[in-house]
Amino acid sequence: MSFAQVLLEDQRLFVLRLLDELPGYSTNVSALQSALDMNAGHRLSRDAALALVDWLAEMGLVTIESLDTRIRVVTLTHRGSDVAQGRAHVTGVKRPRPEG
């Protein structure tokens, strides 16, 4: 596995875990992009952040609602929560480490 793939899988898990901790299990792509940069050390372009959430949506881990051409709200699904908490696994998403 390449380093780029390892980073991508880590970014996907980070987004799922972040959404799992938020009230309402949702936020917008800009906030996710900022959180990835500030809290996980992943500096993504807007296009890369959109591609990340689009992939998660294709896997059924999140839903995306476009409020207008600039604002996209990302919401965690039940399946996404299962992956975030390690109860399920999706190839392409890093597995979380056990708690403790």
Q: What is the pLDDT of residues 73-98, one digit of tens each?
A: 999 999 999 999 999 999 999 998 87
CATH code for 3-84?
A: 1.10.10.10
Question: For residues 76 and 57, is the Cβ–Cβ distance under 8 A?
Answer: no
Whole-prediction pTM value?
0.92
Q: What is the pLDDT of residues 18-73, one digit of tens each?
A: 999 999 999 999 999 999 988 888 899 999 999 999 999 999 999 999 988 889 99
Q: Counting beta carbons within 10 angstroms of the beta carbon of residue 53, is it exposed (0 to 12), middle (13 to 18) or buried (19 or more)?
A: buried
